[in-house]
Amino acid sequence: MSRLTVPARSDSSLSSLKNSCLNALSSGAFALLRPHLTEVTVDEGFVFWDSNFYPNTLFPVSGLVSITVSFASGESIEVAAIGREGAAAQFTPDPASGTTRGCAFVGGDFIRIPTAELFAAARANEEIARLVHFCRDWLLTQSQQIAACNAVHTAEQRLCRWLAQSCERLGSQTFHATQDEIASGLGIRRTTVTLLAQVLQEKGLIRYRRGKIVVADQALVEKVACECCIALGEKYWPSTRLQKYSALRAHTGE
């Protein structure tokens, strides 16, 4: 059973945790959020929200949030994934109208805030409002691109796109994911994932054993991946957009 724990850390530890979106905020904007932030550590598979439970926004630090849409058949497919470049939540005016499920595809450390508190801070502060806007945009951009990707690109291209993006968002070339989870997220058969993993391993692109994936040659994985890797690249991340915005403000003296 997946678990959630709240580590016993000092209050000052939050400022050292590496979510790039939070780090891009000015000290004044961050101070508005800080009283409502809590660090949590969760196991792989922990459910952060579903269509009936949606209280928090998650800022990943060392884990990965997979956002999926489920069907009556019991199947689900990933429509977005969020790492330390952004924040994950039901970013809708009425969260009760949301249809997604968010879980920890890769377990680790996350910073959470009640979504109501985040929205209240956004109404009071333009910088936080921009953060919410950029993070909502990022979810929409991914869902649109992945819908097109699933319809057009081969299973091998999609798997390599997912592997490359997971490395970028986690900041690591080693992580844990089962073939069942990958197959479910990409909307392909488990046997297909097994065959593709064998091929990629034989080519020296990855090493895979008992759910542990090591991307041995990230550049080559990106080369095999579809063009969606570029379309969902770092320059479109919420954290990158926030950093550019902050740099522009500093340059203009606003």
Question: Average pLDDT, whole number, for the chain?
Answer: 89
Q: Which residues fall within 8 angstroms of residue 42, CB to CB, at 6 or more apart?
A: 2, 3, 4, 5, 48, 63, 104, 107, 108, 110
Average pLDDT over residues 234-250: 87
Q: Which residues fall within 8 angstroms of residue 76, CB to CB, at 6 or more apart?
A: 68, 69, 70, 101, 184, 185
Average pLDDT over residues 46-57: 87
For the chain, domains (ranges, CATH) are 4-116+127-150 (2.60.120.10), 153-230 (1.10.10.10)
pLDDT-derived band at 10, boundaries 50, 70, 90: very low
Report the candidate in 212, 162, 210, 164 with the shortest Cα–Cα distance to residue 188: 162
pLDDT of residue 253: 61
Strands 76-82 and 100-106: unpaired
Percent of the chain with pLDDT over 90: 71
pLDDT tens profile 156-202: 999 999 999 999 999 899 998 889 989 988 989 999 999 999 999 99
pLDDT of residue 70: 84
Global confidence as pTM: 0.89
pLDDT of residue 14: 61
CA gap 181, 92 in Å, rounded: 26
Contact yes or no for 170/68 (Cβ under 8 A)? no
**Does 88 have pLDDT greater than 90?**
yes
